[in-house]
Amino acid sequence: MSSPVSPTLDIEDASARKPFTRWEKFLLSVISFAVYVVVRLIAPTIRFAVSCEENSPVSLQQRPFVYSFWHQCIFPATYLWRNLNIRVMSSTSFDGEFTARMIRRFGFVPVRGSSSKGAVRGLLGLRREIAQGWTVAFTIDGPRGPRFVTKPGPVLLARTSSVPMAVFHIALENPWILNTWDRLLIPKPFSKALMRVGSLIPVPEDLAADQIEPYNRTLQFALDRVKTYAEAHVHEVGSPDFPYFVRTAEGGSFPDPSDSHTEHPKTATT
């Protein structure tokens, strides 16, 4: 069940962090490995389908993009997007360290930063990764909420890197729902999952500061839209309109929106 562990890119001064206690280090090792085992046992049984809006990414492996998704669906997302060297912002808190240790086992590359402290430094680190051709992903309402509320980080990063924003949501069929801040979804074995991928959102390089919030609202609207769609159609996974997705070692191609049941996205009012 072992797999290669990805590196962690450290862009913060390690000496400035409060070191973890021995008990915290023990908990981090045990909990992160336990969660990894649970994902490895359940996730391979999930029957995934993918549905795309027009002008969306064409495959899992296509890059670079600035992806955003809700923290709620991190369980199935971690498995479906595995082993693609996607860069993910990771805070230096206990929760951030736990997440970093777990996702590294699935081929993600944590980039040390924070949504609060050192945010500018973190975005600069992610920008360097994009310049090298890597995709970046944000659990945009993490690490602790508020749930289903976007932050402007992806807009700022897309503006400075000239790379479009992209969004997705993965809905699960009758999942277990944990009593956590994000209402985390845990798939039941052999259940269905539908990932809805949204249209790309280009951000002008010369975007004025007073236009950042309107683009953040556009991002919010897009995430709400794909979530609503995925939840409405997840029970149709396996039908002709939503055939099972074939995951390959390289990633896998998404279905052409023109060949499937597609509802064209509406435009957000900014």
User: Per residue in 86-95, pLDDT tens?
Assistant: 999 877 778 7
Supply the CATH number for residue 166's domain.
3.40.1130
- Give first-to-last CA distance, the chain, whole Å: 47
Answer whether residue 129 shows pLDDT above 90: yes
Q: Residue 268 to residues 90, 207, 214, 229: CA-CA distances in angstroms? A: 30, 17, 9, 16
Q: Which domain holds residue 187?
A: 20-255
- Taking residues 238-247, report their average pLDDT: 97
- Taking residues 96-112, report their average pLDDT: 90
The pLDDT value recorded for residue 5 is 65
90 CB-side CA count, 13 A: 25
- Give me the percent of the chain exceeding a pLDDT of 90: 76
- Number of domains, the chain: 1
Tell me the average pLDDT of the chain: 89
Q: How far apart are CA 39 and CA 32, in angstroms?
A: 11
- Asked if 241 contacts 179 with a C-beta cutoff of 8 angstroms, the reply is no
User: Per residue in 16-72, pLDDT tens?
Assistant: 567 889 999 999 999 999 999 999 999 999 999 999 999 999 999 999 999 999 999
**116 found inside a domain:** yes
Q: How confident is the model at residue 267 (pLDDT cuts 50, 70, 90)?
A: very low
- Taking residues 6-20, report their average pLDDT: 62
DSSP code, position 237: T
- Give me the percent of the chain exceeding a pLDDT of 70: 87
User: Per residue in 147-186, pLDDT tens?
Assistant: 999 999 999 999 999 999 999 999 999 999 999 999 999 9
**71 found inside a domain:** yes
Report the 3 state secondary structure along 152-211. Answer: CHHHHHHHHHCCCEEEEEEEECCCEECCCCCCCEECCCCCEEEEEECCCECCCCCCCHHH
Peptide bond before residue 143 is cis, with ω within 30 degrees of 0 = yes
Q: How far apart are CA 76 and CA 238, in angstroms?
A: 17
The pLDDT value recorded for residue 16 is 52
**130 found inside a domain:** yes
**7 found inside a domain:** no
- Asked if 87 contacts 198 with a C-beta cutoff of 8 angstroms, the reply is no
**237 found inside a domain:** yes
**126 found inside a domain:** yes
Q: How far apart are CA 33 and CA 254, in angstroms?
A: 31
**265 found inside a domain:** no
- Asked if 115 contacts 76 with a C-beta cutoff of 8 angstroms, the reply is no
**114 found inside a domain:** yes
Answer whether residue 115 shows pLDDT above 80: no
Residue with the larger pLDDT of the pair 267 and 17: 17
The pLDDT value recorded for residue 270 is 46
The pLDDT value recorded for residue 143 is 77
Q: How far apart are CA 63 and CA 136, in angstroms?
A: 9
